[in-house]
Amino acid sequence: SGESGAGKTESTKLLLQHIMNLCKGNSQLEQQILQVNPLLEAFGNAQTVMNDNSSRFGKYIQLRFQNNTVRGAKLSEYLLEKSRVVRQDTGERNFHIFYYMFAGLSSEEKEMYGLLDPSLYRYISGRFGTEDVAQCWKQKYQEVCNALDMVGFQEQEQVDMQAILAGVLSLGNVTFEPEERNGSVKVSEASWGWLKAAAVSHKSQLACCVPCSPWSSSVSCCCYLCADARDSIAKVAYGRVFRWIVCKINELLAEKVDPEVELSEIGILDIFGFENFAVNRFEQLCINLANEQLQHFFNHHIFQLEQAAYKEEELPWETITFNNNEPILKLLLAKPLGLLSLLDEQSAFPQATDKTFVDKLNSSFKGNLHFQPGRGHVLGFSILHYAGKVQYSAGGFLEKNRDTLPATVRGLFINSVTPLLSVLFTGKILHVGLWQCFGLLIFLCPGQHSLMMLMERMYSANPHFVRCIKPNSQKEPGVVDSQVVLLQLRYNGLLETIRIRRDGFSWRPSFEEFAER
């Protein structure tokens, strides 16, 4: 765990390499486990203002062993930041794979996918990059292709996948205008070329993918809803592709042993770090909530269980106090009046808006020490997290929480003549995430119970915590800002951890080990 850009993903890769080296097997499976990273980073990472290679999803890696040899592995992904596909803030980029494709595809391949100059696409923000950067992206694209081959993607599957990605970009340029005759909305004349490019890429007509709400009060509102539907299609299509890639990886890495054989396991949780941007949205709340839960998990093991053991053995011990973040978790997760429960409640009402949601929060949490209403006419609120105060912009909270896709769109994809599109939307892809594991955002993944089991496993296992500390806020190598470091040491509870390690008992052999020694 740690802030965004502190080095969590890089530390995870080093830890995996270390474990593989300790196995000394050098088997094909061990190499495959190490080589899936380029694929995951290309589709799940992006440049942010805090980190040039920021993980925009969380992952839990389960390594399964028999006689100190890796026999299989499983990857669980959760909460991919799909909104990044359709919008990036200033100084940020879309997912890496889009830039890799523009840099790595040949002219003939770009023509086949209907790709033009990257500066023309609304979903691709900012400057494309220098020649050196483009060369680096070209090399990264080749690594992705090699990884796809290694994982076992068929050539046609790879073609279909890139066609979908190209179609997503073209779809983003489709705009809408009023229909003069009957007051409805149609695709604008200027964007018919983009619609055709998206339809060719998807091998299906997307004109019927932009449904308009029948209770819209105005044509301009209907145009807005159509644009929302367009963006929803893009986000869902990309999310399904990412989930499909993870499923293919798990097929490759699955253990091939007798089910009766008992395997030991090492699990590595690599979660996105605590974030506090100039503008913080629904995604940042989810990310920071997950970090709150991890901090609580850390506190539970390092402080509560440890000091309880000393008291049980009647050792002389002066209780060490720590920053307990349970009140913040109660504010966010309590039922029926926690923030997420109130968000669910508002999402169930068709007439509810982001403003009614904020009004509900202001009335429900008046006087709460960890909640502050937005000032002036700002539609938002602030949460005093364990790592500091974060101001959230409430715009889009209800829509993102609902995360719905029109049934007509789903049916269109299911009946697509492109086999991959049909597979992505028929529910054959099993989604395994982690949210229920932390007791978080269950409304995002209804009906899944595997995550609760995972949390039980984590609490029953022997956890080791890797705390990643960010040296500076400028993304500069070799520079240590002592104030930035000290702030992280304080809010992570590491100063109290040092004290409990110094005053406590760091080496605890069993009685049998002690007697034998």
53 included as an active-site residue? no
Catalytic annotation, pick one of 1, 4, 288, 291? 4
Q: Is 2 annotated as a binding residue?
A: yes
> Quick one: pLDDT at residue 172?
95
Q: From start to end of 369-499, where are the E strands?
A: 371-373, 380-385, 388-393
> How many angstroms separate the CA atoms of 461 and 441, rounded?
24
With 0-12 / 13-18 / 19 or more C-beta atoms within 10 angstroms meaning exposed / middle / buried, residue 309 is middle
* Amino acid letter, residue 442: I
Alpha-carbon span 234 to 151, nearest angstrom? 25
Q: Can you give the pLDDT at residue 181? A: 74
Residue 67 a catalytic site member: no
pLDDT in tens, the chain (517 residues): 899 999 999 999 999 999 988 887 668 888 888 888 889 999 999 999 999 999 999 888 999 998 888 999 999 887 899 999 999 998 899 999 999 999 999 999 999 999 999 999 999 976 777 888 899 999 999 999 999 998 889 999 999 999 999 999 999 999 998 887 776 788 899 999 998 888 755 444 444 444 444 434 455 566 777 888 889 889 999 999 999 999 999 999 998 888 888 899 999 988 888 999 999 999 999 889 988 888 888 898 889 888 998 999 899 999 988 899 999 999 999 999 999 999 999 999 989 999 999 999 999 999 999 999 998 888 999 999 999 999 999 999 998 888 777 777 778 788 877 778 888 887 655 444 333 333 333 333 332 644 455 566 677 788 899 999 999 999 999 999 999 999 999 998 888 989 898 888 878 889 999 999 9
Q: Is residue 323 part of a domain?
A: no
Q: How far apart are CA 448 and CA 438, in angstroms?
A: 13
Phi and psi at residue 452, to the nearest 5°: -65, -40
**pLDDT given at position 448:** 60
439 is in an annotated binding site: no
Query: Among this protein's residues, is 26 annotated catalytic?
Result: no
Predicted TM-score (pTM) of the model is 0.87
Those residues with Cβ within 8 angstroms of residue 88's Cβ, 6 or more apart along the chain or in another chain: 46, 94, 125, 126
6 labelled binding-site residue: yes
To the question of whether residue 9 is assigned a binding role by annotation, the answer is: yes
Please indicate, yes or no, if residue 44 is contained in any of the structural domains: yes
For residues 266 and 264, what is the distance between their CA atoms, to the nearest angstrom? 7
pLDDT at 79: 83
CA distance 56 to 81: 5
**Do the domain assignments include residue 15?**
yes
Q: Residue 48 catalytic? A: no
User: Coil, strand or helix: which one is 272?
Assistant: coil
Q: Is residue 53 part of a domain?
A: yes
Q: Which of 12, 48, 54, 299 is catalytic?
A: 54
- DSSP character at residue 58: E
Cβ atoms 404, 446 nearer than 8 A: no
Residue-level length of the chain = 517
Which of 77, 224, 250, 67 lies closest to 151, judged by CA? 250
Residue 30 labeled ligand binder: no
Predicted pLDDT at 202: 44
Beta strands in 408-484 (DSSP E): none
Which residue type does 458 have? M
Helix (H, G, I), strand (E, B) or coil at 180: coil
What was the pLDDT predicted at 452? 52
Please give the Cα distance from 332 to 392 (Å, whole number).
Answer: 14
> Residue 421 domain-assigned?
yes
Please tell me whether residue 91 adopts helix, strand or coil conformation: coil
Q: Does residue 280 fall inside a structural domain?
A: no
The question of whether 51 is a catalytic residue gets the answer yes
8 marked ligand binding residue: yes
Could you list the residue range(s) of the whole structural domain that residue 145 is in? 8-171+231-273+405-441
Q: Which residue out of 12, 48, 51, 204 is catalytically annotated?
A: 51
Domain count, the chain: 1
Choose the catalytic residue: 41, 81, 275, 292. 275
- Output the pLDDT for position 434: 38
Give the model's pLDDT for residue 339. 97
Active site residue 90: no
Q: Does the active-site annotation cover 173?
A: no
Active-site option among 5, 72, 167, 172: 5
User: Distance between CA atoms of 52 and 133, rounded to whole angstroms?
Assistant: 12
- Look up 4 and say whether it is catalytic: yes
At residue 210, the pLDDT reads: 47
Q: Exactly one of 104, 114, 167, 273 is catalytic; which is it?
A: 273
- Active-site pick, 1, 55, 347, 393: 55
Residue 309: inside a domain: no
- Cis amide prior to 336 (ω within 30 degrees): yes
The verdict on residue 460 lying in a domain is no
d(C-alpha 422, C-alpha 429), whole Å? 11
